[in-house]
Structure 1
Amino acid sequence: MPSAEFDDATELVETYDFLLKFIIIGEAGTGKSCLLHHFTQNTFKQRSQHTIGVEFSSRTVKLGEKKIKLQLWDTAGQERFRSVTRSYYRGAAGALLVYDISSRDSFANLARWLADARALASPHLVAVLVGNKSDREDDREVEWDEASRWAAENGVHFLEVSSLTGENVEAPFLLAARSILLAIESGQLDPEKAGSGVSYGDRALRRVNSNSRLSFGSLSAPTRRANTSNRLGTLGGCGC
């Protein structure tokens, strides 16, 4: 008979229904690491330096009745790390394509980042365009309408967030996860297929079909928020 200590230990093991691999990509200084930190730690990263190579984090979220573990790869934006970071794109089910709304330059190279991701990641990659630093409305160089149009033309979702204030930071992760799970439910995406970026979790689900709905619940369409009266100033020297 198993010991009581063994039973207690097994209860501490995290269980989840699906494991999804995400990559976070974009130019250096757009606040990718700060966005990820706020999502996983629920706080602003006070001292942020440029990522060297790749950094890893994870978080388990719940969508409807399903527990989803997100495997999150934060990649460096500098050109000198490109050959290293691109190897981590393989098998990614989701991609957050981050730019800085106050930097036209960070928006200009989005097509290249997206092309690399689509060439190397899962054939069913779900991409979300994320306009970071929405708290810097007074310094805006990329209008919401322009970014929204670019996203529509390139077949990606679009949101604006602030990794400083925390506004909307969970939405791009949850939106991508929900889109992926809907693809599983419809049969478009097979978690058992190599390179899908998705795998069954500890609950070892056999299949998801019309007799076993995922029941995600609604995830309302994001809208632009430009409340400059409550805007927080940015910290000097931080890429957030």
Structure 2
Amino acid sequence: MALYNEEEKSDDYLFKIVLIGDSAVGKSNLLARYARDEFYPNSKSTIGVEFQSQKMDIDGKEVKAQIWDTAGQERFRAVTSAYYRGAVGALLVYDISRRQTFDSIHRWLNELHTHSDMNVVIILVGNKSDLKDVREVSIAEGKALAEEEGLFFMETSALDSSNVTAAFQTVVKEIYNILSRKVMISQEYNNQDVPLVGSGKTLAFKEQGDEDSSVEQKKGCCSS
């Protein structure tokens, strides 16, 4: 699930995360705000794919998130689909002030699952929460869709920074938690000299009683 960087110490992890969603929902500005604390009011549409790397410290280990910003325009879809492969996390973004971007969520989910691991950690992000006066998608609708699909959910604003860091960190920390649980289970079985049976079993993305009040997710969404 994680890629190790051989040039660095063995406890470093590299996670590939993709930003997906319709054009002009604010994916590039979310990444710019998170990676560089910048915002570009007149930013142009992404051409193809761009990426940034960010480091986080989790449980004393250095975790690197390689975040890929994919173009939302239809003409780039054939090119960007290849970049989903190997992704272990995704921010699926829509614009709360444009209903059509919310209506596209299922199409993006289908594309993501077609080209990536079905166990990818996904957070549904309703961006541009600062545009409350022209809101077309309610918070309740976003939560309901996230619960239906078993996703995390959060509303953000790249303009005023609301929840931007939290959205990215939610995905990275959950990937790390899943990986840590798998490693722990594997070590427990190895210490008992018992083969790891059912190692391909999908682990739940969230344990019971471990919900964060700022993040919505359907319980048991991904347990098999």
- With the shorter chain as reference, the TM-score category is 0.7 to 0.9
Q: Which whole-Å CA distance do the structure 2 matches of 1:209 and 1:38 have between them?
A: 41
Q: How far is 1:75 from its partner? A: 0.3
Gaps of 5+ in 2: 1-6, 190-209, 217-224
1:95 equivalenced with 2:90 (yes/no): yes
Question: What's 2:48 paired with?
Answer: 53
Match of 2:78 in 1: 83
Identify the match of residue 163 of structure 1 among 158, 161, 169: 158
TM-score under structure 2 length normalisation: 0.78
Q: Does 1:126 align with 2:118?
A: no
Q: 1:222 aligns with which of 191, 206, 214?
A: 214
Unaligned ranges ≥5, structure 1: 1-12, 191-206, 211-217, 225-240
Please say if residues 97 and 128 of structure 1, whose CA atoms lie closer than 8 Å, have aligned partners that are also in contact.
yes
TM, length-normalised to structure 1 = 0.73
What whole-Å deviation, never above 9, does each CA across 1:52-84 have from its counterpart, x for those lacking one? 111111111122322210011100000111101
User: What's 2:100 paired with?
Assistant: 105
Aligned-residue CA RMSD (Å): 2.5
- The 1:156/1:189 distance shift into structure 2, 3 A limit, reads farther
Change (3 A) 1:82 1:221: same
Counterpart pick for 2:130 among 135, 141, 144: 135
**CA–CA separation in structure 1 for the residues paired with 2:188 and 2:127:** 36
Q: 1:44–1:91: structure 2 CA closer, same or farther, 3 Å change rule?
A: same
Larger radius of gyration: 1
Structure 1 residue 146: deviation in Å? 0.6
Q: What is the percentage of aligned positions where both structures have the same residue?
A: 42
- Alpha carbons of 1:186 and 1:46: their partners in 2 closer, same or farther (altered >3 Å)? same
Paired residues, number: 189
CA distance in 1, matches of 2:188, 2:16: 22
